[in-house]
Amino acid sequence: MKLLAALGLSAAVLLGAQPAAGYDVFNLRSKASCLKAVRTEQAKVKKQGKNYRGRANLKYCTFTSAKLTGVNLTRAKISYSNLVEAKLANAILTNADFSGANLEVADLLKAELSGSNLSGANFSYSNLSSAKITGADISTTNFAEANLANADFSEVRSEIDPYTGSGANFIGANLTNANFSGANLYGANFSTTKDPGFGLTIWTNANFANANLTNANLNGAILVSVNLTGADLSYASLLLADLTGLDLTSVILTGATMPDGSIHP
């Protein structure tokens, strides 16, 4: 893991996922210069107070294992940066651009990411518990094995990669009490995998009310305590999923592959 962190490489990449276009670990800005830029930005926050508008340019930065707890980087451009194992608990990252960034094993406990662009970013094995991610763009974002317990993903939007057909990845994530109400999760992958590198996705009391799960992969999912009221699972795959006790009367299942392999009319 330390070697991967030094290079900004992810375990997910080694397992076959492709790094985001434009991400070059050998042409990142130095950690010292990037931390200096953050300190300058925090001085602006202190001076400007409620008038602070952000927009710091932190693209292609190195922040491996950096202590950034509680920083305010509103609207910052942090795309294609290396934040492996970064400490970002309670950070204010509203409307920031993290597209293509690597945040593997990062700590984002209670971080504020509402409205941010997280497309193509890698949050695998990260801690996003109790984080607020409402309205964010999570297209092709990797949340594999991430701790998303009590996180708020309401109204997030996700589109599939037009070339690979892959969507956001939640394999092995902890979704306990997470809120995905009204989320657009088209083509997202929540499946249970036999890969020994991943654990089971935990669904306990997750809320997917009125969520769009069209074409999503929920194979093997244990959904017995999940709120799917009004959710759209058209053409989703639920092969071997556990739906015991669920009230599916308001759920759209047109063309969905059911747990027994049959296709819902």
The string of DSSP letters for 51-89 reads G-----B-TT-B-TT-B-TT-B-TT-B-TT-B-TT-B-T
The tokens describing 189, both together, are 């992958």
Question: Given this model, what pLDDT does residue 35 score?
Answer: 97
At 232 the pLDDT is: 98
pLDDT of residue 192: 84
Q: How many Å apart are CA 18 and CA 163, to the nearest integer?
A: 12
Beta strand pairing status for 157-158 and 184-185?
parallel
- For the chain, the C-alpha Rg in angstroms (whole number) is 19
pLDDT value for 12: 44
What pLDDT is recorded for position 194? 61
- What pLDDT is attached to residue 27? 81
pTM of the model: 0.89
CATH architecture of 1-207: 3 Solenoid (2.160)
Residue 199's pLDDT is: 73
Q: Are 212 and 156 in contact (CB under 8 A)?
A: no
Per-residue pLDDT of the chain (265 residues; tens, 9 = 90+): 433 443 444 444 433 344 444 556 668 999 999 999 999 999 999 999 888 988 999 999 999 999 999 999 999 999 999 999 999 999 999 999 999 999 999 999 999 999 999 999 999 999 999 999 999 999 999 999 999 999 999 999 999 999 999 999 999 999 999 999 999 999 999 998 666 556 789 999 999 999 999 999 999 999 999 999 999 999 999 999 999 999 999 999 999 999 999 999 9
Q: Name the residue ranges covered by the structural domains of the chain.
A: 1-207
Give the pair of three-digit tokens for residue 75. 């609207």
- State the pLDDT at residue 53: 87
CB 129 within 8 A of CB 147: yes
Tokens standing for residue 108: 């984002």
What pLDDT score does 8 carry? 45
